[in-house]
Structure 1
Amino acid sequence: MSSLRGQANHGLYLARLLLRAWRRDLAAEDIPASVLAQAYGPAVRGHLLDAYGWFLLDLQKPAQLPATPPHSVTSLPPVAPGKAVPVEIAEFARLEQRGWLAELVQEPGAEQPRRSADSLAAPAANLPDPDSLQALAQQLDDAFTQAGDFLDEC
């Protein structure tokens, strides 16, 4: 396994750790679900995006790695002259536009919700719930496995 694939798997692992903590905190019912969504949702999404970016870099194998992983196909470094773009990259670009990856790569609503006068916490607007993020993590894991198996056969 390449170090980039290892980074991708580590990102998935971190996202799953946060998802377990989120579910544990939801079950405790000490903190409102909307506040937990604000605390955990962006962090889980960030780990999933990093995992996806490291995976894309592993597929592309650029000559120079960026300092941080890209969060979409459009943010990948340019392909070296004479080198073909892997077909998997084109498929992921399609999925980012109108597929299961669209939910992950599109920024949640830019509108910042207003706080009520008696609360320091703003309501969670357009933040995914742990179930939808868990499903995205599983789809990423499946995609990593499928592409990895394909590349191993080549």
Structure 2
Amino acid sequence: MQLDRADRKLLRVLVSNGRATQQELGEAAGLSPSAAARRQKGLEDAGIVRGYRADVNLRKLGMGATVMVTITLDSQSEEAMGTFEAAVVESPSIIRCHLMSGRNDYLLVVRATSIEDYEIIHRQEIARLPRVARIETAFALREVVNRTVPPRLLG
């Protein structure tokens, strides 16, 4: 689907406010509310807008430590990767997992209440993941940018 100027304006509003009304969307894109609703539905049907979710401030919920964990498996076979990925999906402390190119196989993002809490997560979850040969951990000192969409995409 090729996005035009109105679609980009709708996306810009939806990225910053997923609960925007059809009236607000229409005003932002220079469309009637019904036209904005049709375009929004088109973006959803095309799979460009995959859903809407709350942006939860984990720090306010006591999850102040962001931990980046790189994982190298003992094998890059389909079986090893599949077994590892299935276990990651079941791990309650991992919020993101990326298959990587380069030296490490995976990058995990974990949220914890503290370094001490992460130590428990490491022992009880991360170190027990199957087929892991090496684990390296880094703690984020501060979040500088957290975007769901690069601004250049939205014009």
Say which structure is richer in strand: 2
**Which is greater in Rg?**
2
Q: TM range, normalised to the smaller chain?
A: under 0.3
TM-score (normalizing by structure 1): 0.23
